Amino acid sequence: MNTTAASKPKKHTSPLTTFYLCVYNLLQFVGWLRIFIGFCLQMIQGEHARRIMYVSVGKFVDEYTPDMIHGAAPSFSQYNPIVAEALTRLSRMHGYLGPLVVIFQTLAVFEVFHALFGLVQANPIMVALQVASRIAIIWGVVEKYTVAASSPWYGVLVFAWSLSEITRYPFYVNQLLNSPSFMALWSRYSFFIVLYPLGVLSEMSLIWLTLPKTNEWPWINQTGWTQRDMIFLGALPIYVPGLFILYSHLWAARVKVLGSDFAGSKGRAMVDKKRDEYLSRFRKITEKTAARSQTVPAAQ
Residues 52 and 167 occupy one common structural domain? yes
Question: Residue 291 is which amino acid?
Answer: A
Residues 114 and 98 occupy one common structural domain? yes
Inside any domain, residue 3:
no
Residues 56 and 91 occupy one common structural domain? yes
Residues 281 and 244 occupy one common structural domain? no
Residues 114 and 209 occupy one common structural domain? yes
Residues 267 and 243 occupy one common structural domain? no
Residue 121 has phi, psi (to 5 degrees) of -90, 95
Sign of CA pseudo-dihedral 223, 75, 73, 52: negative
Q: Are 257 and 185 in contact (CB under 8 A)?
A: yes
Q: Are 157 and 206 in contact (CB under 8 A)?
A: yes
Encode pLDDT of 79-135 as tens digits.
999 999 999 999 999 999 999 999 999 999 999 999 999 999 889 999 999 999 999
pLDDT tens sequence for the chain (300 residues): 555 544 666 666 789 999 999 999 999 999 999 999 999 999 999 988 998 888 888 888 988 888 888 888 888 989 999 999 999 999 999 999 999 999 999 999 999 999 999 999 889 999 999 999 999 999 999 999 999 999 999 999 999 999 999 999 999 999 998 888 899 999 999 999 999 999 999 999 999 999 998 778 888 888 889 999 999 999 999 999 989 998 999 999 999 999 999 999 999 998 888 888 877 877 888 877 777 777 655 555
Domain span holding position 296:
262-300
Cα→Cα distances 236→203, 204, 232, 239, 241, Å: 9, 6, 6, 6, 10
Residues 215 and 286 occupy one common structural domain? no
The count of residues in the chain is 300
Encode pLDDT of 2-26 as tens digits.
555 446 666 667 899 999 999 999 9
Q: Beta partners for 145?
A: 69
Residues 186 and 294 occupy one common structural domain? no
How many Å apart are CA 225 and CA 128, to the nearest integer? 28
- What's the angle, vertex CA 206, arms to CA 236 and CA 239, rounded to 5? 25
Inside any domain, residue 21:
yes
Residues 161 and 284 occupy one common structural domain? no
| Residue 8: its H or E element | strand 8-9
pLDDT at residue 278, rounded to an integer: 79
217, HSE (Cβ side, Cα atoms, 13 Å):
4
Inside any domain, residue 143:
yes
Residues 189 and 271 occupy one common structural domain? no
pLDDT at residue 24, rounded to an integer: 97
Report yes or no on whether pTM surpasses 0.85. yes
How many CB atoms are located within 10 Å of the residue 127 CB?
A: 23
pLDDT at residue 2, rounded to an integer: 58
Residues 155 and 267 occupy one common structural domain? no
How many Å apart are CA 169 and CA 172, to the nearest integer? 5
Domain count within the chain: 2
* Long-range contacts of 245-250, Cβ-Cβ distance < 8 Å, separation of 24 or more: 246/3, 246/196, 247/192, 247/196, 247/197, 249/3, 250/3, 250/5, 250/189, 250/192, 250/196
Inside any domain, residue 114:
yes
Strand residues in 45-121 grouped as ranges (E): 120-121
How many Å apart are CA 26 and CA 220, to the nearest integer? 50
Inside any domain, residue 1:
no
Residues carrying an active site annotation = 196, 203
Residue 8 has phi, psi (to 5 degrees) of -135, 150
Torsion angle defined by CA atoms of residues 222, 224, 229 and 234, in that order, rounded to the nearest 10 degrees: -30
How many CB atoms are located within 10 Å of the residue 270 CB?
A: 17
Inside any domain, residue 2:
no
> Which of these, 69, 58, 169, lies nearest to 120 by C-alpha position?
169
Residues 250 and 271 occupy one common structural domain? no
